Amino acid sequence: MTTILVVDDEPDIREVIRFTLETAGFDVIEAGHADEARKQLTIENPDLILLDWMLPGRSGLELAQQLKQSPKTRTLPIIMVSARGEEEDRIKGLDTGADDYISKPFSPREMVARINAVLRRARPDECAEEIEIGGLRIDNVSHRVSAEGTPVEVAPTEYRLLHFLMTHSDRAFSRSQLLDQVWGDQVYVEERTVDVHVRRLRKALEPTGHDRLLQTVRGVGYRLSDKT
């Protein structure tokens, strides 16, 4: 389920937003100020932040700037929310790196539509029902893997690893990055765990020769590619 972190200092507004988002099928976590939001980010991995501009202490604008400057959170989509609807304010919000800007008051349908639009832009491949690379296919609906039409049995962790690499094909990832993206940074596991699961995934793909797609990048980590 897609998780949204709602950062707003007014509990009544958070409750309305929570109801709207949960009705739309999202999971919601909340924070009332910037420091609480940072704390939530150490224990949760939201897919998007709905961030109010006017927060007590550190403003939402400052928090957005800090998150976009951090390697760990700079790709996390942010939608700024504010009663400041002037063009200059919208530009300032977007210039911080925010992915969209919603002016109060806004309709629940507009909020959900904007969230879905930002999520589609942030992860276009992950939303696809099927992805195929070099004859290797992963079905994101049935959670099945096949190679040239032949079913491939993989364990849940190997499936998540394969899905992440296929939705980010041709990009090399370090073991640390894979741990964060596949296992979640709230789970403590050693980096060599990645190697174990890569070996298991390669073994599952070996009978059809598709283990060649899972490439070791010397000095970096791993990538999945049909290019040599």
Over pLDDT 90: what percentage of the chain? 43
Considering the chain, tell me which residue range(s) the CATH 3.40.50.2300 domain(s) occupy: 3-122
Q: Which two tokens stand for residue 106?
A: 């806004």
Using one digit for the tens of pLDDT, what is the confidence trace for 110-144? 898 888 888 877 765 555 678 899 999 999 878 89
Phi-psi region of 221 (alpha: psi -120 to 50; beta: other; left: phi over 0): left
Q: Are 22 and 28 in contact (CB under 8 A)?
A: yes
Q: What is the pLDDT of residue 86?
A: 60
Q: Which two tokens stand for residue 148?
A: 């040239």
CA atoms within 13 A on the CB side of 90: 8
Q: Are 115 and 50 in contact (CB under 8 A)?
A: yes
CATH class of 3-122: alpha beta
**Does the domain spanning 130-224 belong to CATH 1.25.40.10?**
no
The Cα-based distances of 165 to 55, 61, 150, 182, 198 in angstroms read 37, 33, 20, 10, 11
Q: Which of 10, 12, 62 is nearest to 34 (CA)?
A: 62
Using one digit for the tens of pLDDT, what is the confidence trace for 54-113? 899 888 889 998 898 887 888 889 998 887 656 666 676 677 778 888 888 888 888 988
Considering the chain, tell me which residue range(s) the CATH 1.10.10.10 domain(s) occupy: 130-224
Summarize the confidence of residues 144-158 as an average pLDDT.
93
The Cα-based distances of 189 to 183, 195, 196, 200 in angstroms read 8, 12, 12, 17
Q: How many angstroms separate the CA atoms of 193 and 101, rounded?
A: 40
Q: What is the pLDDT of residue 119?
A: 82
**What is the H or E stretch that residue 225 is in?**
none
Summarize the confidence of residues 192-212 as an average pLDDT.
94
User: Collapsing DSSP states into helix, strand and coil, what is residue 214?
Assistant: strand
